[in-house]
A and B are shown apart, each in its own frame.
Chain A
Amino acid sequence: MRVNPNYSADMVNLMDQAQQNENNAAQELSTGRRVSLPSDDPAAEAAMIGENSRSAAVDQYTANSDSLTSVLNTANSTLTSVNSLLQRAVTLGVEGANGSMNQSDLNSIAEEVSNIQSQMLSLANTSYAGHYLFAGTATGSPPYVADTANPSQIDYVGNDQQNKVQIGTGLSVSANLPGSSIFSQSGANVFDALQSLVTALQEGNSSAIATAQTSVSSALSAVGTAQVFYGSTVDELTTNETFLSQEKLNITTYENTLVSADTAAAATSVTQDENVLNATVEAAAKMNQSCLLNYIQ
């Protein structure tokens, strides 16, 4: 069979191919990625879009958990203060109820309980970054205000709504507990109990003091029960953050298998392609040397 005498096009083709392969491998090495454009591996790129979105969502769930944790911790420590104030009020009620005190002593106890009551008001109106923590979702204004007709009575003007914050796909936690479930539960209203204790102390009525002290005790235990919400939610967030960081790691690992360059293979490829290129160039340079014309005299 006759051989194609014009080998140069073939040679150029081979050199182009070797050069292209070498460039690709070098690009993989420099970018660390096997896939740079959708056409490099359409399926991997399509999967990357999904993984990037998942990864962004995981980042956001983590950020949600972080900011929620600060809010809940603030609320929780507020309730811890509430707790100790109420305990002090119970102690004062017990002291006032044992009948050994004169009215002047009872009056000063009443004074202290009254102070507790006003501290309680400011704690119940605690805000975080300008938003009231115990107002339900009516976070724009203080949830506890003195009743206009009867200033010694504290009214709840928030609502009993709870917001949900997503901390995972299909997973959300309540972000707040309304004051109506903490301070002003029916039968265990902190402000009413404190007010009745102040009144009983001022009146010097031992049995009324004892009744009021019992009310404060039930309010205390009601607040304690409500406080569990914050502790358990923060625990849930902490556990979930551990899960999220594992999830993030899984996504990153999967993304790497999708698009990352095999550095060792790419480095080997650069060397091999360079050798092929050199060999082709040398062969091309040698092939032109002999021609019958050189020998015809």
Chain B
Amino acid sequence: MGLTADLNVSVQSLLASTESMDVTTTNMANMNTPGYARRRVVLEESAPSGDDQSSTGVDVKTVQSLRDSVLDLSINANTAQQNLNSTLSSSLSAVQELFSDTASGSVGSSIDSFFSSLQQLSTSPADSSLRSGVLTAAANVASAFQSTATVISQAQQQADRSVVQSTDDANSLLQQIAATNAQISTAQDLGQSSNSDQDQLSSLLSQLSAIMDYKTVNSSDGLTLTTSEGVPLVVGSKAYPLTSQVNSSGFNDVYAGNTDITGTIEGGNLGGYLQARDQTLTSLGSQLDQFAYQFAKAVNTVQTAGSDANGNAGTALFNPPDTTTGYAAGAASAIAVALTSGSQIAAASTGGASGDSSNLTQMLNLQNQAIIGGSTPTDAFSNLTFDIGNTVSQANSNATAIGNILTQLQNQQGSVQGVSLDEESSNLLLYQRSYEAAAKVISTVDTLMGNILDMGVTNPGY
């Protein structure tokens, strides 16, 4: 052990303290940076040196980012699910209002009014103003179907535009992820720290999970990103951008490379928009079409079995349906009143007198008959109300439940990687002291060495 060795040890100590303070400063500076995980200097004893191998200094082994990758994965997966549910809910909010019991001019209430107008007519079957009232009520039924179909289709188009927008957003992130992958791999090849790139990657993955679900695999050339079905999105430094292609329904399908992944996206905003557009609203729209078709068909069947006020055979009240093909698609947006005068309402049975209401009774009976896919018109509407309400309600409660889980997970994540100012300040004190101590040793060694050199100066005669 010698003074020179002490000097070396102290210099190492100075360097280690400086680096530690650098890390502390970095932590403090990035305490609010998204994706940033607090760093910590890992110190180790250096290899012994000196004649008797007794001087052991300190080395900075590495600067470590404190990150729990399992927790990160879990947070991203939950974020994807939460966004899917909240997006699904918001995409359906305008539509579900039309199925509320207070919605004025809803399909359900207009059908109620239609039957009321028929009831009124039954008290005075020849009354021309009551007959006009029935036509008005029928027109309201038609326009209720039409406007509901329009709102559903607008919601679908809105979701479709958002699908394209989300695809663009995802592409920008995929490219950044690929670039970051490349940087990490370069840094690793050069033996440099990739901590800041990892932070960046973490932030990008978290942003991507808000848009869509994905799987990650760590491979030799960095992180590989695929869809849940294994279609590659990012492999190493190469991103496979998503593209959209218009399908036969006029909506945009999402492709990764040449693979249609539309049906496999089950998370994030994109998943929510797709589920609203392709599942909930599509199903609702076709049920509404069936509803309109079967309602019109049932009314027309009774109407054509009777006689109108002038003794003529009744003709169809509603257009369509085309009963020859039984084709219901688009019926809700196409339904319209075909009659032009109230006198054409076939209140009488065939050959009945102008004041006969026996066919009207048949038409009134429709209200309590299972004419819409095995349900009465009211029950059919009520089922739609339940379905849409239940979908939104489940999406809301899922979003809330997942939100609570996320809060827990984010707290855990914060406890692992969050920067605590108190902790950093206290570390700063420690590093400051060790720096001071090392500096003190250096100045002491300096003094001692000076003394030794002075000895030569004061006794030149030896």
Contacts and interface: CB of A to CB of B under 8 A. Distances in A.
Given A38-B388, A39-B89, A163-B125, A46 B352 contact: no
A6 interface: yes
B77 interface: no
A1 B386 contact: no
B392 A5 contact: no
B419 interface: yes
B300 interface: no
A249 interface: no
Give the interface centre of A38, A130, A175 by most chain B CB atoms within 10 Å.
A38
Given A5-B420, A37-B96, A45-B389, A140 B354 contact: yes
Interface stretch (B47-55, B100-108, B251-259): B100-108
Q: How large is the interface on B (under 10, 10 to 19, 20 to 34, 35 or more residues)?
A: 35 or more
Interface stretch (B12-20, B111-119, B194-202): B111-119
A146 B450 CA distance: 152
Contacts of A61: 119
B123 interface: yes
A292 B386 contact: no
B393 A40 contact: yes
A64 B89 contact: no
B386 A291 contact: no
B420 A53 contact: no
B421 A42 contact: no
B96 A166 contact: no
Contacts of B413: 4
Given A4-B415, A60-B119, A138-B353, A38 B386 contact: yes
A53 B102 contact: no
A164 interface: yes
A189 B381 CA distance: 54
Given A9-B410, A39-B96, A296-B429, A163 B356 contact: yes
B143 to A, nearest CB: 18
Contact of A161 (B115, B127, B356): B356
Interface string A150-164: 000000000101011
Interface string B74-104: 0000000000000001000100110111100
A68 B125 CA distance: 12
A137 B361 CA distance: 14
Nearest to B404: A13
Contacts of B410: 4, 9
A111 interface: no
B226 interface: no
Given A5-B423, A39-B89, A50-B378, A67 B357 contact: no
A175 B123 contact: yes
A50 B386 contact: no
A19 to B, nearest CB: 15
Contacts of B290: none
B382 interface: yes
A77 to B, nearest CB: 18
B101 A163 contact: no
A71 interface: yes
A13 to B, nearest CB: 6
A67 B96 CA distance: 38
Interface string B11-44: 0000000000000000000010000000000000
A260 to B, nearest CB: 12
B383 interface: yes
5 contacts: A39-B89, A46-B389, A52-B109, A129-B124, A166-B364
Given A175-B357, A292-B422, 6 more contacts: A5-B420, A49-B382, A53-B108, A60-B120, A67-B120, A296-B428
Closest 6 CB pairs of A and B: A38-B389, A4-B414, A139-B355, A42-B389, A39-B392, A5-B420
Interface of A: 1-6, 9-10, 13, 36-43, 45-53, 56-57, 59-61, 63-64, 67-68, 71, 129-131, 135-140, 159, 161, 163-166, 169-170, 172, 175, 259, 291-293, 296
